[in-house]
Amino acid sequence: MNIDLTDTTSGRINAALVRARRAMGSPAVGMVLTLVIVTDEGSHYDALKAASDASKEHPSRILVVVRRPGRSPRDRAMARLDAEVRVGGETGTGETVLLRLHGELANHAHSVVLPLLLPDAPVVLWWPADPPEYPSKDPLGALAQRRITDAAETEDPVAALRGRAASYAPGDTDLAWTRVTLWRSVLAAALDQKQARVTRAVVEGEEYNPSSELLALWLADRLGVPVERVLSGGPGITAVRLATEEGDICLERGDGSLATLSVPGQPDRSVALHRRSTAELIAEELRRLDPDETYAGAVRFGLDRLVRGQVAQVEAVEAAQAQAQAEAARAPGGEQAPPQIVVHPDKERMARATAARLITAIVDAQAARGRAHVALTGGRGGNALLAALAQAPGRSGVDWSRVDLWWGDERFLPEGDPDRNHTQAREAVLDALPLEPSRVHPMPAGDGPHGDDVDAAAEAYAAELAAAAGESGPGGGTGGDGTGGAVPAFDVLLLGLGPDTHVASLFPGHPAVRETGRTVVGVRRAPKPPPTRISLTLPALRAAREVWLLAAGEDKAEAAADALTAGDPARTPAAGARGHERTLWILDEKAAARLPESVRS
């Protein structure tokens, strides 16, 4: 049963809960705790789904707090509470109240929540993202016995762990820690069985993976030996090696699901170590409400006391294999990757997360091939990403002198014109990065050596790409049918999505979108100003290893839905933009709003 309450109070919500219970014929007995989730409008659905699944094991009252402080001074000055009370149905034996706190009330969530807590039952607070700096001192956090954060859901997970260590109070925990429970139990059992003295340890796992850091910290804290943290290609944690006087104890998991445990003198064993869902992690956390001393010891051990190792050998081998496969796929007739979709709550978070993703992709490409080729896009999405890149915490970890920057399209205007994609990119980030000037490849300007001859300018850019493709050796991608020149295999090619489904400057129905022989074309009479442009062609876009399509905002929702369901690139150019290894659609909630369920799932 659902009851919607507008402009309400905690008292009326309590009365509605009683009413709903009576109507359902089920008294509020048997509920073991109150779980308070502090989230935002975009993420509350996923968090609530995970909590509802977890509450099947622990019947709970779930209070979801969504703060909506308002944008204008007038909105901020008012105070209103709306609520949705749900009893029965998907909530099982538990009950859920979704609380929307508008205006000034957003700053007083604790006074709304306090009267709604189950009497004499423990309180668990969960921030799926954006926790306060000091969870135990937060007015809502102070109401709880247990406070759950998730370092994996932050821009800089390692920095987040440092924050958790500094603010730790008994009752704090983090889902990045819960994710290592199975690893810890298998390793502890192996050590119990073997009884050998460990002299050093290595933890291999993805970069920006806080669970790998916590596992390494736990080993260092418990074993009192040097522990090396080595980066691998993931997913998640990929291996733990414990050196003992009798040989290495190894727990290796290459696929995120099944691990192999090797103990000296024993046959290898397979161990199920799958990456668990958020619902499973929350269920585990709800099982134990006492302070977790082991977590305290690990998180406070000190990240700087871990030894930072080189990229794992295994990753180099895997990268070589992946490269060989990708090269095979790029041969004429090679495969294009089907679209994958990532949805972020809003355009700001989308830009920040994509900047972090881009940094990782560049570092990975450089580790595998020594350099990275990235093709940039103009437009709102592209510029927001570049602005986020300028602020991204990981940007200093990139060797920018080994990055080649290209453009997917350009407005054919004089050098420095504010409408040129190159000018906008320079202002957003390029001037602030230590790039090697000879590796920045803007498309020619309308007042350059080719004058106003856009075809000659396009040809010159095609020649520059072909030269770089030659330098890249066998990794270079072929554009067109193989006769029209080559382009480097862009490690990441970024594309904005136009509301009419155009990508780069390839517009629906325009002759440029049908080009198959050339890699770069001059575009005249574009439907979007300015009318004269230069663009990579679809075959050149499709030579990329990874194509990332960016779309944020309501005005992109229809285009995204069309492109992800349409077949003819001549009418829906974005449908034709695919990479060999990955085609990634990166959307915000608004742009994803019209995707059919079949595409989203």
Ligand X SMILES: O=C1O[C@H](COP(=O)(O)O)[C@@H](O)[C@H](O)[C@H]1O
Which parts of this chain interact with ligand X (CB under 6 A)?
377-382, 409, 411, 421, 495-496, 498, 504-505, 528
Shortest distance, position 533 Cβ to ligand X, whole Å: 7
Residue with smaller CB distance to ligand X, 127 or 406: 406
Shortest distance, position 81 Cβ to ligand X, whole Å: 37
Residue with smaller CB distance to ligand X, 90 or 555: 555
Residue with smaller CB distance to ligand X, 190 or 495: 495
Shortest distance, position 597 Cβ to ligand X, whole Å: 25
Shortest distance, position 347 Cβ to ligand X, whole Å: 10
Name the 3-class secondary structure at 587. strand
User: How far from 390 is each of 41, 155, 205, 208, 299, CA to CA, in Å?
Assistant: 27, 14, 27, 19, 30
Sign, CA torsion 388/390/393/395: positive
Residue with smaller CB distance to ligand X, 242 or 425: 425
Strand partners, 125: 36, 147
Shortest distance, position 40 Cβ to ligand X, whole Å: 24
For residue 300, give every residue at least 6 positions away whose Cβ sits within 8 Å of its Cβ, in sequence order, or none.
165, 168
Residue of 348, 430, 439, 419 whose CA lies nearest to 388: 348
Shortest distance, position 379 Cβ to ligand X, whole Å: 2
Q: One-letter amino acid identity for 255?
A: D
- Cα 48 from Cα 67, distance rounded (Å): 15
- Cα 370 from Cα 472, distance rounded (Å): 10
Q: How far is CA 138 from the centre of its chain?
A: 27
- Cα 187 from Cα 168, distance rounded (Å): 26
Query: Distance between the two ends of the chain, CA-based, in angstroms?
Result: 27
Shortest distance, position 306 Cβ to ligand X, whole Å: 42
Residue with smaller CB distance to ligand X, 265 or 529: 529
Q: What is the 3-state secondary structure (H, E, C) of 438-483?
A: HHECCCCCCCCCCCCCHHHHHHHHHHHHHHHHHHCHHHCEECCCCC
Shortest distance, position 452 Cβ to ligand X, whole Å: 18
- Cα 15 from Cα 60, distance rounded (Å): 18
Strand partners, 344: 588
Residue of 43, 111, 40 whose CA lies nearest to 81: 111
Q: Is 445 left (phi over 0), alpha (psi -120 to 50) or beta?
A: beta
Helix ranges (H only) for 78-230 are 109-113, 157-167, 175-178, 181-194, 210-223
Residue with smaller CB distance to ligand X, 128 or 378: 378
DSSP state of 506: B
Shortest distance, position 381 Cβ to ligand X, whole Å: 5
Residue with smaller CB distance to ligand X, 56 or 380: 380
Q: Which residue is nearest to ligand X (CB)?
A: 379
Residue with smaller CB distance to ligand X, 238 or 377: 377
Residue with smaller CB distance to ligand X, 378 or 475: 378
Name the 3-class secondary structure at 415. coil
Kindly state the tokens that stand for 29.
């007995």
Shortest distance, position 202 Cβ to ligand X, whole Å: 44
Shortest distance, position 515 Cβ to ligand X, whole Å: 17
Shortest distance, position 566 Cβ to ligand X, whole Å: 18
Sheet containing 339-344: give its strands across. Answer: 339-344, 582-588, 546-551, 492-496, 372-376, 403-407
Residue with smaller CB distance to ligand X, 106 or 550: 550
Residue with smaller CB distance to ligand X, 153 or 409: 409
For residue 389, give every residue at least 6 positions away whose Cβ sits within 8 Å of its Cβ, in sequence order, or none.
355, 358, 359, 395, 428, 429
Residue with smaller CB distance to ligand X, 345 or 496: 496
Extended beta strands in 192-285, E state = 198-205, 227-231, 237-244, 247-252, 258-262, 269-272
Shortest distance, position 427 Cβ to ligand X, whole Å: 15
- Cα 135 from Cα 132, distance rounded (Å): 5
Residue with smaller CB distance to ligand X, 17 or 351: 351
Q: One-letter amino acid identity for 160?
A: A
